[in-house]
Amino acid sequence: MPPKVKMTKENIVEASLNIVRRDGITKLNARSVAKELKCSTQPIYSFYATMEALKTDVTKATNDYFDDYLAERISRQESTSPYGASGLAYIQFAKDEKELFKLLFMQDNIYAREWEKAHSYQIEMVKAATGLSKDNAKKFHLQMWTFVHGIATFFATSYLSISDEIINELMTRTSFTMLETYTKGREVKKKIMSCTKCGIQLVDSKLSDSYEKTLNTFDNDKEPIYSIYHCFHM
């Protein structure tokens, strides 16, 4: 007989994560985990007295995976700012990992209840790029992220599919409108222009006709507008 494989908590969490990724959190139970691991339910209960305890560990493992996914996607983005890249990565995660996205962002859990803490990095990026107060930077990001989350849920639920070009255009238009709401036009353009000094990446970009129209309707002074575009390009 082949030697028995030693069961560990990590084995159980990994198998559970596979189940959730494939079938959703509602299909996670002792029997489904045992089937995934090709064992009885006894080893499962030896590590986890309740399924809620296992779900807590699976949610934590999913959040850790998401953090790594986000960091990797942001590091690969060369044509947009880190702030914009984080929004794109969030939407892409909803496309790639529908059930894991639902687990983290479409139901109550400890990470959902710590939204401000989880988004502190993005809020600081907005504050540095715009010169907004922390309170207004938080409001700006909350409004922007509400928009991003809405698009992401379209993909997670397979309700609607939107092209990357349209997503970029919608994000750009939204950021322009919000900048006007939270700031004072010309004053902000000067602050945005100085954002290269605080690390926000400004790069050359080929704009589609729809982007060009958006820029033209906002202001004829294109150089400062390009800087706004790059800082908040999603």
Residues 87 and 35 in one domain: no
List the domain range (segments joined by +) for residue 1: 1-78
Helices 120-130 and 185-193, axial angle in degrees (round to 10): 110
Name the residue among 219, 211, 218, 222 with its Cα closest to residue 79.
211
Token representation of residue 91: 């939407």
Q: Are residues 98 and 62 in the same domain?
A: no
Query: pTM for this one?
Result: 0.76
DSSP letter for 111, please.
Answer: T
Query: Looking at the structure, do residues 28 and 71 belong to the same domain, yes or no?
Result: yes
- Which tokens is 114 given? 């710590």
Residues 92 and 67 in one domain: no
Kindly state whether residues 64 and 7 are assigned to the same domain.
yes
Residues of the chain with pLDDT under 70: 1-5, 78-79, 111-112, 184-234
Structural Rg of the chain based on CA atoms: 22
Q: Say whether 67 sits in a helix, a strand or coil.
A: helix
Q: What is the pLDDT of residue 210?
A: 37
- CA neighbor of 156 nearest in space, from 112, 96, 73, 69: 96
Per residue in 141-172, pLDDT (tens digit) is 999 999 999 999 999 999 988 998 898 888 88
Are 167 and 144 within one domain?
yes
pLDDT, one tens digit per residue, over 3-39 is 465 789 999 999 999 999 999 999 999 999 999 999 9
Whether 60 and 96 map to the same domain: the answer is no
CA 220 to CA 234: how far, in whole Å? 22
